[in-house]
Amino acid sequence: MSEPIEKVSIIISKGSLEGVYPGLIMANGARAEGMDANLFFTFFGMDAIHKKRWGNMKVATVGNPGLHIPTIIGIIPGMSAIATKMMSSKIKKLDFPTIPEFVEMIADTGAGIYACLASADLFGFTKDDLVDQVQGIITVGEFYEKAAGGPIIFT
């Protein structure tokens, strides 16, 4: 019999609806099961915790095999908007929280929410650019310290 998971750390690196929701769902599920959870937002995933961007996530249509459309269709102007509207409608029908609501809800459960220092430096972000739920902008090494003792999931 395997040991139960007590802690999970999730890296969110993609800045699209389909890139952010899986990590948020997993973190929320971990907290609901009584596990400690850390979220580490890096690279384009930082859009999900950026004050001016977190409510405007889109579906990536170019090169997204999950859409089951040829890449050439994805480059047609407006396709991303159409795919985003369709996905947002499905999310709303399922009564899922929006990304801002999800981040707030997960933070309220005591999960750790962190931004990647290297990515913040790369994009010129400061703590003031990020939502209040972000506990800090940390190095990869500091993230590994927080993740110690549990699995790390990269989405």
> Which sequence spans correspond to the domains of the chain?
9-58+98-154
**Identity (one letter) of the amino acid at 33?**
E
What is the spatial distance between Cα 40 and Cα 68, in angstroms, rounded to a whole number? 29
pLDDT along the chain (155 residues), means of 10: 88 93 96 96 96 87 76 80 85 90 96 98 97 98 96 93
What is the spatial distance between Cα 40 and Cα 8, in angstroms, rounded to a whole number? 11
Find the DSSP H helices in the chain: 17-32, 71-74, 79-93, 99-108, 117-123, 140-147
pTM above 0.95, yes or no: no
Q: Which two tokens stand for residue 91?
A: 């999310």
pLDDT of residue 68: 76
Q: Which CATH class is domain 9-58+98-154?
A: alpha beta
Query: With contact defined as beta carbons under 8 Å apart, do 28 and 102 qualify?
Result: yes
What is the spatial distance between Cα 153 and Cα 155, in angstroms, rounded to a whole number? 6
